Copies of this chain bind each other. A is one copy, B any other.
């Protein structure tokens, strides 16, 4: 285990050097978060398809339980049960827009993970940083369980549990637990736990701060300690459920999957579930008595239980949908937590946008009207007014509006348009609109992925470290 211990020390040192101006020490967080024996217990795996260029490189790294798809280089890094999805990386010949400048992409983009320790973290999409369009860099960064790194190169960062870095370049930042940040660029900043922050330069800005007292019951992370709270309890309760996916080389689900849909062998489907047409169910998604209508998707690490999604629903990475009746065309953002009552499901009307990191945890029956933007913390019907706004009303805002704890500044129509555009892009990329000929997306392409299983040295001084691997077409 010597090499693995040395690696953890190396990463800790590298990240701390970056974060010295914030006086932040990642060491205590890493010390006991994953017992060393876990690193030989779970295998890593990477996908081989005819759709993405196959380039993987791993050196001096541990990849226990990690899934890799698409071009990726990992050096001196620990990926523990993470999902690294490079199936939307930029391809040679693409062009990245930066204001009025077109930046041509001269090589296929590569995810490069170096000197980092990521735990149950999702990396997806492509780097939105125009500075280095051919590399999606994750460098000297520690991410605690259930963080998302989405389109965001990060360097010298610490992401708390259930934090999301979205479409932003981060340097030397600390994101508190359950913080969601999508602001383009951020350096030398400590983002408090539970801050939901979206900013598009001077165009618009959305801010909401979760009440720390309420948040702590869902997700807490004492300085240098292990994350806890209901989210963690929930995830830990599901852990054994996924064991069959790892025992079998390719688990066959006991559910009818429609012709143009795909359900990952590393997802778990239980109870009376239904997978409609053009549906994508990603690895580590958990479905139990879940009905997914045409074009719906269940992204990595989401849980959909005793719920119905009418169609064209996006359930982003890490979303929870429990006891819910969701109409068509609803977007549920990263790590949102929707928990209805067993005998009175949460009802969400069509066209709603549930902001990332929203907590709806019912104490009484609640319905959200159609075409509404929802955020914050809702337990009763009366909370809806203070934690939502009709999209139409928001579109009319031109300078500022405050609703409950939320502050919005700038162009409301710009914000709504940008969001709708993004949702549509997600549905398109996932193959929701496939007509049998055109519009092929992940739901269709995901049907033909072969998984290669990789393991570390089982014993000796290199125990837990994976051999050096170079996989090319």
Contact = CB atoms under 8 A, between A and B. Distances in A.
Contacts of A248: 247-249
Contacts of A43: 249
B50 A458 contact: yes
Contact of A455 (B451, B456, B458, B468): B451
A452 to B, nearest CB: 5
Interface in A400-457: 448-457
A48 B456 CA distance: 8
A457 B450 contact: yes
Nearest to A470: B470
Contacts of A467: 48, 54, 471-473
A131 interface: no
A469 interface: yes
A259 to B, nearest CB: 16
Interface string A241-263: 00000111100000000000000
A379 interface: no
B450 A458 contact: yes
Copies of this chain, whole number: 2
Contacts of A249: 43, 246-249, 453
B452 A452 contact: yes
A460 interface: yes
A289 B10 CA distance: 53
Given A458-B49, A468-B472, A452 B453 contact: yes
A462 interface: yes
A389 B167 CA distance: 81
Nearest to A40: B450
A459 interface: yes
A239 to B, nearest CB: 17
Given A452-B452, A452-B453, A455-B452, A469 B471 contact: yes
* Residue picked from A54, A449, A453, A473, most chain B C-beta under 10 Å: A453
A459 B448 contact: yes
Nearest to A455: B450
A452 B471 CA distance: 13
B48 A458 contact: yes
Given A248-B249, A249-B246, A458 B449 contact: yes
A247 B247 CA distance: 9
Contacts of A468: 470-473
A456 B460 contact: no
A468 B469 CA distance: 10
A50 B459 contact: yes
A449 B456 CA distance: 10
Contacts of A470: 468-471
Contact of A48 (B50, B54, B455, B473): B455
A50 B457 contact: yes
A423 B450 CA distance: 42
A316 to B, nearest CB: 28
A130 B472 CA distance: 35
Interface in A59-74: none
Contact of A453 (B453, B456, B471): B453
Contacts of A450: 40, 455-458
A471 B453 CA distance: 13
A450 B64 CA distance: 13
Contact of A458 (B40, B448, B454): B448
A307 to B, nearest CB: 31
A132 B67 CA distance: 41
A48 B457 contact: yes
A412 to B, nearest CB: 46
Given A43-B249, A249-B453, A453-B452, A460 B48 contact: no
- Give 9 nearest A-B pairs by CB, closest first: A50-B460, A450-B455, A453-B453, A470-B470, A468-B472, A450-B458, A448-B458, A448-B459, A452-B454
Given A48-B457, A467-B471, 18 more contacts: A48-B467, A49-B458, A50-B462, A247-B248, A247-B249, A248-B248, A249-B453, A449-B458, A450-B455, A450-B458, A451-B455, A452-B453, A452-B454, A452-B455, A453-B453, A462-B473, A469-B471, A470-B470
11 contacts: A43-B249, A48-B467, A50-B457, A50-B460, A246-B249, A450-B456, A450-B457, A452-B454, A467-B472, A468-B472, A468-B473
Interface of A: 40, 43, 48-50, 54, 246-249, 448-460, 462-463, 467-473
